[in-house]
A = this chain, B = another copy of it.
Amino acid sequence: MEGFFQRYLSLYRPLITKLNELLSTYELSYSLWQVMFYIKNHGPSTLVDISNQYQVEKPTITRRVHRLEELEIVKQIPGKDRREKIIQLTEKGEEIYKECRKKITDLEHSVMEGIHSDEKITTFHTLPKIKENILHREENKSD
């Protein structure tokens, strides 16, 4: 499997650039989209929820959420625990979510054109397995 990382990583910049171009219409970027995606699919959430999901530190999420608040895409709702900041999509946020979701799904199909269905499915299932290996085999690997 020598060369696997190169193959994996050489997709990253072209892909993230394309996604950011697509999202820039709404003054968004993929990092902001992740937050929208999370609260759309998990319901109103705290910053810690999001931070845990993406293995990103809390101050990073604070910044993303502040930006989304400026854009009026998310808003805070009251919760019992007054330490927590529970955020959800605004109506505007829901609209923008739908439009972006469609464009992203179109792009997902587009980048898969000409690739056999079974190849797509295998890759689709293999990537999370690799992620698990990276995250959970760390302890037992000393080198």
Would you call B11 and A130 a contact (CB within 8 A)?
yes
Is residue A52 contacting chain B, with contact meaning CB distance below 8 A?
A: no
For A9-29 the 0/1 string (1 means CB < 8 A from B) is 111111110110000000000
State which of B4, B14, B119 has its C-beta within 8 Å of the C-beta of A134: B14
Interface of A is mostly: helix
Task: List B contacts of A128 (CB < 8 A).
Answer: 7, 10
15 A–B contacts from the bound complex (CB under 8 Å): A1-B108, A2-B105, A3-B108, A4-B111, A7-B128, A8-B11, A9-B12, A9-B16, A11-B131, A14-B131, A14-B134, A111-B134, A113-B137, A114-B133, A118-B122
